[in-house]
A and B are shown apart, each in its own frame.
Chain A
């Protein structure tokens, strides 16, 4: 059953029961009061009649002849007392008769103790039958009187009719009001339910409007919060899936490109007659592309190893870092790219992993050199900052366009594809550095200005004292 129906029916039920009970109680109270008044009136009349009859009988007769008593009754039982009757001690009627329906046996029994009365229904009303013993001179007898007591019963009937009419009218009015109230109450629930249904069908953008501060408003707010977090999760998952897809696509591309050359040249060499120069060129391409494949696999291996292993961090002196870096690297940079390396690392102890830090710096410097033109300088600068030891790797090269900055860390992403290719890039350098930064507990910051160069910096925590001279 719908909630609105439940509200409607239970409201109607409560209204009807409350009104009926009130009406019943009111009717009963009014009826009781009216009936007792009516009875009192009848009894008063009875007593009055008995006083009159007794005094007249006392005055009149000492022998209490029946004829005399009948005469007394004839003069007393007039007007209001026309229903009066007189019975002798042995229950014989001396004057008049009791009403047809009067239960005389019962009354005579009761009248032995005094005034006794019974209310009985008759056609179209109620009668009160009264009987009491009276002193008729020297004899005794019974005096009977009937009174019409229909009025309280009629009043009660009338009140009950009116009450049921009022109850019906009230139920209809309450019903109409309840329909409106129930709709108003359930409107936010229905809105929420519609949004939830749309959500389950895949419309993740819809949110329910919070219209009130009650429990339903709270539920709506909670639902919206749940939807927000779900949507966020889903977006993140989708993004992850897209990144993985991109990675796989890029990886496939990076793998297929050298493979195409290697297979193609080898196939050409084995099946075609080539001249000396073509043969040399083909073999050379197989060699260089094979080396490229080797570099790619080594970098990938390093990336995978980073995922698998825990690296204990030790205290390292920056002097050692510099020593390990410069010699071989400087020669390579000068020979390969014609770029000078300038190092300025003030002495300090930093907490890191020596091999990883070296790999990261070599890759960053290599990247910087690739972005540089011949004759430019790549600088590695250290600075003691309050937050940690800051290392900057800066070049004077082309810089990275702003919209590419957010993607350069992705594996295989290259800003200038053709130039990176020409300089042996696999597009994994920064991805590797980023992964290493995560392992040694730091973060790479890339600042770039097009035409002015790029600076990559990160903060290393200071050493904890026991310098480990490696």
Chain B
């Protein structure tokens, strides 16, 4: 199995990323369906992002002429101006964009990505997936390799490296993905099916021990026996504060 070479990292407490991004990332949500817009806003706000919602293409364009956002979540089927048209307008502004759309066919995805979008999320989506993708795009776009510190564990997503008390920890790719998922969703109960689908892909069959085995190994390697809490019969939660 492929092993991640983890190098020791020296990190000062200032460079550690806190549970709430600092400075707060500002995200624009362009989505005409009120319930979905509200859903995305609520979850991003819970994950510590500052959000602004607009409900049609024209309003988005108006807002973007004199406001800067760190990320734009863009629906494709919008009144006034659709997402693809809006993308043309956004591109020169140099802001990362994630398409959020019900159109699942490959042609549309390719079109979206060709237009310069950074990612493409198809509805219906899992909330954990949305947050993970937002995190990845922000990190990639702004090239922040800020170390994430949780207790004595420091994670550097840019270098795929994990250290505990300054010593490298060797994690399998699945364990690493699992760790990232927990870190991105701190304080949130992650159901077994959600974990499985995010890390192993679709096809959760119910009574699988895979998730539990990996979580146990992760706990042992990181010394997170108390921090990574089992939620009885449901799943696991990474405590934000010990």
Question: Which residues of A pack against B, CB within 8 Å?
Answer: 249, 252-253, 256-261, 263-265, 267-268, 270-273, 278, 281-282, 285, 288-289, 416-418, 421
Contact = CB atoms under 8 A, between A and B. Distances in A.
Contacts of B188: 271-272
B189 A271 contact: yes
B108 to A, nearest CB: 10
B85 to A, nearest CB: 15
Question: 4 shortest A-B CB distances, which residue pairs?
Answer: A260-B124, A261-B35, A256-B102, A271-B189
B77 interface: yes
Contact of B123 (A256, A267, A273, A282): A256
Interface stretch (B36-44, B152-160, B171-179): B36-44
A253 B75 CA distance: 12
B33 A264 contact: no
B55 A418 contact: yes
Interface string B8-42: 00000000000000000000000011011011101
B56 interface: yes
A282 B42 contact: yes
B46 A272 contact: yes
A256 B105 CA distance: 14
B123 to A, nearest CB: 4
B127 A268 contact: yes
B151 interface: no
Contacts of B79: 416-418
Given A253-B77, A281-B42, A285-B35, 4 more contacts: A259-B124, A268-B39, A271-B127, A271-B194
A322 B40 CA distance: 46
Nearest to B79: A418
Q: Which of A256, A264, A267, A278 has the most CB of B within 10 A?
A: A264
B75 to A, nearest CB: 10
Given A260-B39, A417-B32, A272 B124 contact: no
Contact of B125 (A249, A260, A270, A271): A260
A461 B192 CA distance: 62
Given A263-B124, A267-B126, A271-B189, A421 B33 contact: yes
A260 B35 CA distance: 9
Contacts of A253: 77, 102-103
A410 to B, nearest CB: 15
B32 A252 contact: no
Contacts of B38: 281, 285
Contacts of A264: 36, 39-40, 43, 124-127
Q: Which of A249, A253, A260 has the most CB of B within 10 A?
A: A260
Given A252-B102, A285-B39, A261 B33 contact: yes
5 contacts: A257-B33, A257-B36, A264-B125, A285-B38, A421-B33
B104 interface: yes
B141 interface: no
Given A264-B36, A264-B39, A256 B124 contact: yes
Q: Which of B32, B40, B102, B128 has the most CB of A within 10 A?
A: B102
A268 B43 contact: yes
Contacts of B127: 264, 267-268, 271
Given A272-B188, A418-B32, A418-B55, A260 B123 contact: yes
A290 B102 CA distance: 17
B191 interface: yes
Interface in B167-195: 187-191, 194
Nearest to B124: A260
A267 B194 contact: yes
Contacts of A270: 189, 191, 234
Contacts of A260: 33, 36, 39, 102, 123-125
Contacts of B125: 260, 264
Contacts of B190: 271
A257 B123 contact: yes
B102 A261 contact: no
A289 B39 CA distance: 12
A88 B79 CA distance: 139
Contacts of A252: 102-104
Contacts of A267: 126-128, 194
Q: Which of B36, B79, B188 has the most CB of A within 10 A?
A: B36
A260 B37 CA distance: 11
A257 B191 contact: no
B204 to A, nearest CB: 14
Q: Which of A259, A278, A418 has the most CB of B within 10 A?
A: A418
Contacts of B128: 267, 271
A295 to B, nearest CB: 15
A265 B79 CA distance: 24
B39 A261 contact: yes
B33 A272 contact: no
A150 to B, nearest CB: 97
Contacts of A272: 43, 46, 188-189
A407 to B, nearest CB: 15
B106 to A, nearest CB: 14
B119 to A, nearest CB: 17
A281 to B, nearest CB: 7
Nearest to A261: B35
Contacts of A261: 33, 35-36, 39
B102 A257 contact: yes
